[in-house]
Amino acid sequence: MRRVRTISLFSGCGGSDLALEASGFHIVWANDVWDRACETYADNIPDAMIECGDIRDVPRFPSAQLLVGCYPCQGFTQGGRRESDDNINYLYQEFDRALRYVLPRAFIVENVAGMAYGKNRELLENQLRRYRLAGYHVKWSVLNAQDFGVAQDRKRLFIVGVRSDLEKTYEFPEPTHGPERDKAYITQRDVLTGLPEWPIGEFTDQTLNWYYMSRKRRADWDEPSSCIVGNWRHVPLHPLSPPLRRIHTDKWVFQHRGRTRRFAYKECAALQGFPTAFKFEQGSIRDRFQMIGNAVPPPLFASVVGGLNHILHVANG
């Protein structure tokens, strides 16, 4: 069976593409604008060619059966800016341009879950409309990474489209982990055991200020972590830190004294579902947090793409 030719846009350090390579897909071209992310990608996915640069400067694309993209929409993320008119929120138009140029059999988009709610829903509807006009049957869903074997409570929105002329349908995967499922949630203990307890230099020791303590930033050892974000100041507390107690809506305090710290970047990578062999050696420590927090958890993406096997693993077309 021929490997499915795939184009990856807004690839970051390669979370989605690591899952694709492991699933037998052939990434013929990838792109990201951040040089540190491109270098990390090349360190870990050497069989794929990633071109670093602004997607708006790319005039044409190779042929492919699958197009994937994780374009940023920072105005709608929980941890980023909330400027809904920011130009970065309209990079989906570049994905749409590539989609119409390549006309793959199918596409996958991953984005922040906040786009699905409230006034933000308009941006989601704009994307769905564009992709349907491009000739695709389109479905979307918000999935939680912890339901698919990732040790993290992380909700993300996925859009999947199948070319209309193929007369095939896509169904989102059913959760595999959690209560009343075949498998229990993967916990922090499962992925952090064996890592250094206090890896000096791999986490920020900035003060836990009032804003940081306005949210519940700690989960117990035998629970998945809360969401891993790209800002090293806002990543969750390591479970060796004392438990938290809620004082009121926007204030949490430690129940007793003890050593406290945020997660280290290698711990964040493990909680995102990256294998220990994945190398984060490029850029500053702060850069590595950003790459990891912005990445797609590979096990989650593998679950989403698995539903396309009956559409993609056929003769080229």
DSSP secondary structure code for residue 118 in this structure: G
Distance CA 184, CA 302 (A): 18
Distance CA 11, CA 27 (A): 11
DSSP secondary structure code for residue 177 in this structure: B
Is residue 73 flagged as an active site residue?
A: yes
Longest dimension (CA), the chain: 63
Mapped onto helix, strand or coil, the DSSP state of residue 311 is helix
**Residue 225, amino acid:** S
CA distances from 285 to 36, 266, 278 (A): 11, 10, 15
13, 38, 70, 73: the active-site residue:
73
Paired with 110 in beta bridges are 158
Instruction: Select from 289, 267, 305, 265 the least CA-distant residue to 110.
Output: 305
Q: What are phi and psi of 213, to 5 degrees?
A: -85, 10
Within 8 A by CB and 6+ apart from 61, the residues are 7, 29, 98, 101, 102
Mapped onto helix, strand or coil, the DSSP state of residue 246 is strand
The H or E element that residue 76 is part of is none
Catalytic residues: 73
